[in-house]
Structure 1
Amino acid sequence: MNEQTLALHGLAIKKHGDAAGIAQITGLPEETVTKHLEAAAQAGRVNKAGEKYMLAPTAAISLQSGYSRDFAEQRANAEMNAAYDDFETVNDQVKQLITDWQTMEVGGERLPNDHSDKEYDAAIIDRLGDLHEKAEPVLDRLTAHVPRLKVYKDMLLEALERAEDGAIEWVSDARIMSYHTVWFELHEDLLRILGRERVE
């Protein structure tokens, strides 16, 4: 995969992102990402609003159709596919944990978590720490086949540590690179690499 395609791949993961965020997950220098996205914008393949970019529909289709070639080696690799299957097992647990973080059972009903119960929140963050330990060896196996994926592992650990230090927004706030935000983007990256479909 060349630099331009990798920059567009990063944009597809972000859906609506700036050059700095795309550089972070692709491993490309920010100025390189900017150069390719600006060129793509000039060619009508990318839409730009302020500092944010979004793939144009035709570019999204073109990118998707090229994945079978760009990621042929990974898609044919039995070890990577097995690691991904194990990732999905952990993913199910992450989704349940986030549901438990965002809501709580009160009188038999699921209500939004207003985070006033500090003990409840602390227990969820403890669970997240345990789940992260379970995820780490799976992430290492995936990174062995796609080294740039290591950045996700680093960002997940950073978000976890911030949450454990009391900044609870780092569990699932979509406005920052919270644990859930990073996990979602990693999942999207893997789905595109391996040609899988997201199961909601």
Structure 2
Amino acid sequence: MKSEQYLVLHGLAIKKYATADAVAGIMGLDPEHVASVLREATARGRVLEANGKYSLTPTTRIALASDYSRHCADLRESQPFAKAYEEFERVNSTLKVLITHWQTVDIAGSAITNDHADTAYDSRIIDRLGDLHERADRILAEFARHLPRLQIYRDKLSTALERAEDGALEWVSDAKIESYHTLWFELHEDLLCMLGRTRVE
């Protein structure tokens, strides 16, 4: 598999179901080139297209999974990268708790959906997210040192946090945009694919 095609398909594996522009944005590739690769892959039956969005076929997903060992051999053998990944997983556990606190509030011992009416509560969670990002940023920098394209996540996560801190609450966890939680989830998926790991729910 050509490296350029691999990156496009890898981006689609992370996004699951996405436009060419979305794949290009997360992989740092030219959108027109990504669109061309996806059109060719669709014609060859490797990718499915519906309403301008693409997804991998099951066969392509399996083939891509087996191809990671070749494309990502250096990362899999890197002890510094493995150490950074383990630190990332520890921060990930903290983030999962934080997002739960963002999405729900405790009322008389019961967790109910956060309607975001309590601005003080939301502000405390966003402050915690800022503290978490300070811990994470060193890890993100280490990832980017080994694989420069991962700097995209670092930049996008900082932007999402800044927007949330400026009062746009949807940038914390809204799945329809590149919110902090959405980007973090995609970075995690990126790492899992490359390292051949399995997500622990």
TM-score, normalising length: structure 1: 0.99
Quick one: which amino acid aligns to residue 107 of structure 2? V
Q: Deviations over 1:102-157 (max 9, x none)?
A: 00111011111111111000000000001001100011111111110000011101
| Correspondence 1:59 to 2:79 | no
Residues in 2 aligned to 1:39 and 1:5: alpha-carbon distance in whole angstroms: 13
Structure 1 residue aligned with 2:28: 27
Deviation of the 1:183 alpha carbon: 0.3
Q: Is the partner of 1:163 in helix, strand or coil?
A: helix
Deviation of the 1:32 alpha carbon: 0.9
Q: Deviations over 1:47-76 (max 9, x none)?
A: 001210000110000000111111011001
Q: Is the partner of 2:175 in helix, strand or coil?
A: coil
Structure 2 residue aligned with 1:100: 101
Residues in 2 aligned to 1:199 and 1:143: alpha-carbon distance in whole angstroms: 24
Residues in 1 aligned to 2:130 and 2:18: alpha-carbon distance in whole angstroms: 28
Structure 2 residue aligned with 1:197: 198
Runs of 4+ in 1 over 6 A off after TM superposition: none
Q: Is the partner of 1:105 in helix, strand or coil?
A: strand
TM-score, normalising length: structure 2: 0.98
Structure 2 residue aligned with 1:4: 5
| Correspondence 1:135 to 2:136 | yes
Q: Deviations over 1:57-98 (max 9, x none)?
A: 100000001111110110011110000000001000111100
| Correspondence 1:171 to 2:134 | no
Q: Deviations over 1:16-65 (max 9, x none)?
A: 01111111111110011111100000001000012100001100000001
Structure 1 residue aligned with 2:40: 39
Residues in 2 aligned to 1:96 and 1:15: alpha-carbon distance in whole angstroms: 24
Residues in 1 aligned to 2:194 and 2:142: alpha-carbon distance in whole angstroms: 15
Residues in 1 aligned to 2:200 and 2:155: alpha-carbon distance in whole angstroms: 25
Residues in 2 aligned to 1:27 and 1:102: alpha-carbon distance in whole angstroms: 31
Quick one: which amino acid aligns to residue 198 of structure 1? R
- Cα RMSD (Å) of the superposition? 0.7
Q: Is the partner of 1:54 in helix, strand or coil?
A: strand
Quick one: which amino acid aligns to residue 123 of structure 1? R
Quick one: which amino acid aligns to residue 85 of structure 1? E
How many residues align structurally? 200
